[in-house]
Structure 1
């Protein structure tokens, strides 16, 4: 984490439901900022929540407020929540109602700003009419290009909203180290994702192999190509994009922070590869996909 901050990677993302109850991301962040209190003002902290104990999403104030207050409690005053996002849109509650509730909590000082997660372009428009949107977090990578053609990036440009690109390395698939489901450890949730399953992964590996040829040609790593491609979308769509790759090793953080300038020829070659090797399989299990793109 200190390596990331040293490299200027100061947008940190956590979640109320990330990790076990006794050591989730908020508790780990509390431990970090307790050890390095001087870093608190250097970091923009975005936290996702809004999911109840039954894993259901409740976008009413009655549902969202306890989540916000719990996140604040878990941080223990070590760091303010700069941006709070409901992990998914509650389809039974108008987004306007959720935004009004979060705006009230922002004005109370519980959070610094309001973000959106896994949303459609129309949802962004409706939400932005109620409250300023600090960020929109979506899955965006060479593995998940939907935002380039569903109007989300254009809408974020229209409202001057930064885009937070989660899983820019395709949950590790764009590292080239996953060749079959057997390469994932037992209990790894990715084994449940259609893209990683037999009958799909074999075709998806062809995409990785083709992209690796560009990385080899430029003398860089595939993760560097993947992250640089995401950043190249800034120029194409005229919107700020912040990729947030995760890592457990400082050397990987250094690798991922090395931004490349992809030439037009590189981008054209990548687009050709994407058209030749479309990704097979959904991003999540069927029941989770029903909650996505709200």
Structure 2
């Protein structure tokens, strides 16, 4: 069994490392056949990696999980998180939807795609991206109705500001906040969000803790990417910026070698130690990578190692944004105030 942590001050015990499942369906390389994807989920379950993170916008991700639930009859073993709020439009920027009507519509659709029984709530339901033009109080009130109706258990927000979290938490307890956190993305550690999470007892769920593979130590060139790999369009992975950012990885690799672990394991251990409420959720589709990621749970950093990692983080000059320009306004969102 994997070590567990309480998901926030009042949440359940879950594995101390989550599993991001987006890559099973989209974004990285070519999608694997269903039989291989289901076998991977079998493997994750057997390893105890049962804190699964999905979203309605991740292509067929909810559908493949429904197939696994039906085939395995092990839905009860999984702490299931999914999200709403983004609509993709081929060839155009995504759009954000938070209206109360859409919140319920999206939840019901996800439940149907996941094949959930009427008495089987989604464990953790996130607002994937926040509409800055709608007061967060309206969004969370609509989400709270889903809890009241037994459709979901716990509520989460993604890419919110500290103030938005505080306002949301007054409407209904927020169990988890999901933001990108890695040595390449440390904003949450300095803009007050981590402090707000600790103050309110909210779990910090760190997505892309390996910076979409940069910190796996396996990427050496922009040309390594499959033609279907969407990292090709991310500024941080551009031909101009790639080699500059790899230099940061090389510095962390030296610390990892001295520790006797991989740079991925070093990074995940660092993210896990940011606070007692911190959960990295690295994504992978390969059994060997899952084993490596889970191995980080046995790593304890010394004060000297933490200081060495922090020095790299503090001195790093990261080149390129972490999302396309159209999505940058929806990171660490403050919403308009609620009218009296």
TM-score scaled by length of structure 2: 0.80
Q: Does 1:159 align with 2:206?
A: no
Q: Give the equivalent residue in structure 1 for 2:308.
A: 269
Q: What is the RMSD computed on CA atoms of the aligned residues?
A: 1.5
Of the candidates 238, 241, 245, which is equivalent to residue 282 of structure 2?
245
Q: Give the equivalent residue in structure 2 for 1:208.
A: 249
Hey, which of these two has a bigger chunk of strand by percent? 2
Mapping 1:148-227, distance limit 5 Å? 148-227=189-268
Determine if contact 2:121/2:150 at 8 Å carries over to the other structure. Answer: no
Q: Does 1:29 align with 2:65?
A: yes
Secondary structure of the residue aligned to 1:28 is: helix
Determine if contact 1:206/1:277 at 8 Å carries over to the other structure. Answer: no
Q: Give the equivalent residue in structure 1 for 2:46.
A: 6
Q: Does 1:50 align with 2:90?
A: no
Q: Which runs of 5+ in 2 are unaligned?
A: 1-40, 334-340
Q: Give the equivalent residue in structure 1 for 2:76.
A: 41
CA distance in 1, matches of 2:196, 2:42: 34
CA distance in 1, matches of 2:121, 2:155: 13
Q: Give the equivalent residue in structure 2 for 1:124.
A: 165
TM-score scaled by length of structure 1: 0.93
Of the candidates 107, 119, 142, which is equivalent to residue 68 of structure 1?
107
Q: Which runs of 5+ in 1 are unaligned?
A: none
Aligned residue-pair number: 285
Structure 1's consecutive aligned runs of 4 or more residues displaced over 6 angstroms after TM superposition are: none
Greater shift, 197-206 or 125-134, is seen at 197-206
- Residue 217 to residue 88, structure 1, CA distance change in 2 (3 Å): same
- Deviation at residue 53 of structure 1 after TM alignment: 6.0
CA distance in 2, matches of 1:221, 1:142: 15
Determine if contact 1:59/1:95 at 8 Å carries over to the other structure. Answer: no
Mapping 1:44-123, distance limit 5 Å? 44-52=79-87, 55-77=94-116, 80-123=121-164
Secondary structure of the residue aligned to 2:240 is: coil
- Deviation at residue 218 of structure 1 after TM alignment: 1.4
- Deviation at residue 5 of structure 1 after TM alignment: 3.1
